[in-house]
Structure 1
């Protein structure tokens, strides 16, 4: 892989923590604008040398950062209808105000292989034991330029604060459907194994046929597919399961196919990026029917990332310090039987990077925050590759995120990755890399950074275009 060096061109500063960066052409306009969604509930776009307020739903978003400032809830997804320029339709995913609950477990969770109870926990009394409710809504830009909510597409009760996904909405260029990427519900180690359960909405990538779903305006609050009305089940398909946490999905046109890239945020050991071309989505109504009849659904076409049995290429480990030598760690398989059961049923990552990596040309990361295909030609060495960001490199002082890339291979084999060198002076302040975006034809890349890791530290965000 070739060495790549880029610069960062500042576009916006002093905004709240950005979660989504993507472009669209407004109704009545001809120019492609960069839209920025923030975790607290704002959406802006860059107009003619100015920042324009597009939507403010801060009053609708749950109170963030109540437990120390860090939070994974908020405004997490923004997608524009493929015909947005003519119909003004767009879609948002956020955590609803006034829905704070006590959570599904009273204490932090870690599996204990010697204690079967920790291997088989059940999420009980869900209407009381949950953290918050996420919603997916359809909005429209009216003729007066103001936006109005049209309907709710999904209300999802979440067990914990974290793993709700980010950059979680897009439209598939293959099917024209709205795609929702959602994490396993949170805590750590997926305590209820929601990601592998076909009835659980958590831990899946779902396609929503919004054209067939026109009658749904106020759906029930659910956690499982079989709690949805049959009319809604018919409009949903599952394309990926075994998701832990995910910074969206990116599509790359290759001849007559699209390569799909998805990133899997790791638990203790490794961050992974997956790619696939062929898949056969399964309609939720089929999954529910099989569950009701206690039969085996035909789910061979669903892509499985392997979580919670597998973390990237590895059976999911618990990492503990070695008593006699604290400089090294003991890695214990957390879910041996699940790892064995999934050994032939999950796909291998395109590439992985690690939380500890002694190799001189690599970096030790913490959490994947963005994955984008790049089809531009202005940055030599990146054309046709997939670019990704990590929140913060281990032991970087001051804190710095990482920008890197990898390449898809025609034979589907695994690929290495290479860190992209950035020629930019951040000064003495920390700079966490919190999101990555692209324009409509993927010829431009945008980076969102934040000076702290807390959403409650306001106006600490910056947006850059990545340039040669």
Structure 2
């Protein structure tokens, strides 16, 4: 793989944490504009050097960072424009609702849970008292840009109760060019190690990729707040199909045209060992009505062609493991398989990752990852070494100097055969100065010929106005 070098061109700066970067053409407009959604609830649009506010829903967003030292993964995490947005003005939001703060599903801090393979109680935890023991409520809404240029909420598609504050997904709403349906990626609910194994449970909304048929109108303006598919009214169940399960925390699903097909790319943020990217072309989604019927009959639904990423039994290419320091040698780590039985049960059913990259990597031309924050096919010609390949972003490079922190860009080739692939680091020529530069989001324009990178000076959403969005350009 050739060494690719790029530079960065600032587009907008001093904004709050940028979570979604997408382009669209406004109704009646003639240019494609970049839309930037921030975690706190702002959406800006940029075109011809003009920056405007498209929507501000900060008052609808839960108070961020108050219970976690400024860090948070809630907020506005999904924005998608209808394929016919230019004509119908429809767009969709996924965010955490103001005033919905709960005590959480487990006592203690949200990341405190670790399973103990010697204690079966920790391997079989149940999420009890869900109506009071939860962290917050997420909503998925349909909005419309009125003829007067003012956005207005039309209806709520889903209200989902979440057990913890983290793993709500990011760039969690995208439209499928194959089916025309809205695709929602939900994340496993949070904490660590998926305490309640929600991601593998067919009835749980958490840890899934779900298609929503927005052309079907349910006539339910405010759906009930739920955690399981069978708690939804039948009219809403009939709008939903499930593409995949076994997701931990997914930074969106991306589509790349390949002859008469689309390759689907799905990143899965890892626990302690690896970050992973999966790809598939063919799949057979399961209607939610079938899943509910199978649960009622206590039977197994037909899962031929159904996608399973393997979490929580598998972390990418590895069985999920607990890492502890070796007392005999502090420079080494001891790895213990967390869920041995589940790793066996899902070993054959799961989809093998296209790539798993490591939190510790001794190879001189690689890097130690922290968290996958974006995956994006690149179909442009401006950066020849990347044309037709898949770019990904990691929050922060682990090795080397920790101050100031720098994120990482890398790429993988589209595979010609089914095997685990390797990656190449992209050299970024840009002077960030003394400030940290966490790579928090990755996006593209409509035909995937331009790439955009969201960078933040902190990992804490409460540290306001430290964000810059760049276009990735040839060096």
TM-score bracket, normalised by the shorter chain, equals over 0.9
> What residue ranges of structure 2 are gaps of 5+ in the alignment?
none
User: Match for residue 463 of structure 2?
Assistant: 457
User: Match for residue 230 of structure 2?
Assistant: 226
State whether residues 408 and 415 of structure 1, in contact with CA within 8 Å, keep that contact through their aligned partners in structure 2.
no
User: Match for residue 452 of structure 2?
Assistant: 446
Cα-to-partner distance string for 1:154-198 (whole Å, 9 max, x where unaligned): 000000000000000010000000000110000000000000000
User: Match for residue 109 of structure 1?
Assistant: 113
Give, in whole Å, the separation in 2 of the partners of 1:443 and 1:36: 18
State whether residues 72 and 163 of structure 1, in contact with CA within 8 Å, keep that contact through their aligned partners in structure 2.
yes
User: Match for residue 423 of structure 1?
Assistant: 429
User: Match for residue 2 of structure 1?
Assistant: 2
Give, in whole Å, the separation in 2 of the partners of 1:216 and 1:448: 36
Give, in whole Å, the separation in 1 of the partners of 2:85 and 2:316: 37
Give, in whole Å, the separation in 2 of the partners of 1:2 and 1:324: 41
Give, in whole Å, the separation in 2 of the partners of 1:57 and 1:14: 19
**Offset of residue 302 of structure 1:** 1.5
Give, in whole Å, the separation in 1 of the partners of 2:450 and 2:423: 20
**Offset of residue 49 of structure 1:** 1.6
SS at match of 1:449: strand
User: Match for residue 81 of structure 1?
Assistant: 82
Give, in whole Å, the separation in 1 of the partners of 2:26 and 2:387: 28
State whether residues 138 and 152 of structure 1, in contact with CA within 8 Å, keep that contact through their aligned partners in structure 2.
yes
User: Match for residue 20 of structure 1?
Assistant: 20
Alignment of 1:344-355 (within 5 A): 344-355=348-359
User: Match for residue 36 of structure 2?
Assistant: 36
The reply to whether residue 155 of structure 1 matches residue 159 of structure 2 is: yes
State whether residues 386 and 411 of structure 2, in contact with CA within 8 Å, keep that contact through their aligned partners in structure 1.
yes
Cα-to-partner distance string for 1:101-159 (whole Å, 9 max, x where unaligned): 00000032110000000000000000000000000000000011000000000000000
Give, in whole Å, the separation in 2 of the partners of 1:126 and 1:213: 28
Give, in whole Å, the separation in 2 of the partners of 1:99 and 1:183: 19
Give, in whole Å, the separation in 2 of the partners of 1:436 and 1:143: 31
Give, in whole Å, the separation in 1 of the partners of 2:410 and 2:218: 41
State whether residues 218 and 235 of structure 2, in contact with CA within 8 Å, keep that contact through their aligned partners in structure 1.
no
Give, in whole Å, the separation in 1 of the partners of 2:383 and 2:418: 25
Q: 2:150 aligns with which of 146, 149, 159?
A: 146
Give, in whole Å, the separation in 2 of the partners of 1:209 and 1:177: 5
Decide which moves more: 155-164 or 401-410: 401-410
State whether residues 275 and 408 of structure 1, in contact with CA within 8 Å, keep that contact through their aligned partners in structure 2.
no
Alignment of 1:117-128 (within 5 A): 117-128=121-132
Give, in whole Å, the separation in 2 of the partners of 1:389 and 1:45: 23
**Offset of residue 234 of structure 1:** 1.1
Cα-to-partner distance string for 1:300-342 (whole Å, 9 max, x where unaligned): 2210000000001110000000112111100000000000011
**Offset of residue 214 of structure 1:** 4.3
Give, in whole Å, the separation in 1 of the partners of 2:351 and 2:218: 35
Give, in whole Å, the separation in 2 of the partners of 1:400 and 1:337: 38
SS at match of 2:384: coil
Q: 1:266 aligns with which of 261, 264, 270?
A: 270
**Offset of residue 51 of structure 1:** 1.2
**Offset of residue 410 of structure 1:** 2.4
TM-score when scaled to structure 1? 0.99
Q: 2:257 aligns with which of 253, 258, 261?
A: 253
Cα-to-partner distance string for 1:402-458 (whole Å, 9 max, x where unaligned): 000001212222211001001111111100000000000000000000001110111
**Offset of residue 212 of structure 1:** 1.4
Paired positions, count? 468
State whether residues 282 and 301 of structure 1, in contact with CA within 8 Å, keep that contact through their aligned partners in structure 2.
no
Q: 1:390 aligns with which of 379, 394, 414?
A: 394
TM-score when scaled to structure 2? 0.98
Give, in whole Å, the separation in 2 of the partners of 1:204 and 1:316: 18
> What residue ranges of structure 1 are gaps of 5+ in the alignment?
none
Q: 2:290 aligns with which of 286, 289, 292?
A: 286
User: Match for residue 51 of structure 1?
Assistant: 51
SS at match of 2:121: helix
Decide which moves more: 406-415 or 374-383: 406-415
SS at match of 1:98: coil
Decide which moves more: 353-362 or 294-303: 294-303
